[in-house]
Amino acid sequence: MIEQSFLNKIIKNPYLITKLNFNQLILVFREAVKLFREETLILELKKEYSQDKVIVIGDLHGDLKSLTRLLDIINLENPKHVIFLGDIVDRGLYQLECFILVLALKVKDSNKYYLLRGNHETLKVNKNYGFFQDFLNRFKDPKKFSQVVAIYNALPYCALVNESILCLHGGIPEDFNAINRLRSIKTSEIDLNYENADKILLQIMWNDPKSNLKGFTESFRGRDIKFFGEDVFKDFMRENKLDYLIRAHERFPKGYKWFFNEQLLSIFSSANYRGTFTPIPASYAIIRNKTVIPKIIS
């Protein structure tokens, strides 16, 4: 059993995570994976009162400065739920620190904090974009990374807020019945390794919206990954009785971007994704009442 005092310490000062040894980290990994394995592929979250807020956070990519600022905002806003849309690691300076901090928040308050799987929550992508090497430089033994992969394989893919606002990392899948098919299935009941992933789950992590497009078209991102246009997006939303979709996965000069008559919001919560010389505003979203409001991290 992990001590609350230990969690409180690293949440209060996440830069201390840099100094933790692997035996300390494994306590966080083991507690977190037990919680994720009890969750379903589609989280169904309820706001009991109209004034309850939900904060949604996009890609972080090791940007600990943005994450700590977001925690200040969370403490101020006191939301009922906080949803991370994935892509916590790769590229940034504090990848492990961000990852452990998000897990510590989950372990400390599992009914408030939720983490979804993004396209960077895979071993293959981590080997290409930095997190695996960063981890190896710290702990030397590649076998220890299996603890991280166990977390990835237990993560949910979507969060449905009050049955009307869908949160995910990438985009809508070609199968419009996917949400209903995945409901009530625990993450521990399906093999979620990236190489063998079901096409639906792959597209939820990787697909992108595109203006002035009809239907689904091939994406530069890879096999079975698609761009989707407003027509199929509207059909998907109508079929699933949804009002809004919040996703991450792409950065924009403004920090966020509305698509499709302001029914799809794309956010990105890392300000230094391309380095400190090309900063962009970092964004997040607040769900208040039945509306979605984009915000810039000041």
Residues serving a catalytic function are 120
> Distance (Å, rounded) from C-alpha 173 to C-alpha 51?
32
Q: Is 59 exposed, middle or buried (0-12, 13-18, 19+ CB in 10 A)?
A: buried
Spatial neighbors of 56 by CB under 8 A, at least 6 apart, are 82, 83, 85, 167, 246, 267, 284, 285, 286, 287
Structure token pair of residue 126: 């981590």
Q: Are 187 and 37 in contact (CB under 8 A)?
A: yes
Can you say whether the dihedral through the CA atoms of 191, 192, 196, 202 is positive or negative?
Answer: positive
Q: Are 11 and 113 in contact (CB under 8 A)?
A: no
Tell the residue number behind the tokens 């590649």, with chain if given.
142
> Distance (Å, rounded) from C-alpha 192 to C-alpha 198?
8
Give the bridge partners for 285, in sequence order.
56, 294
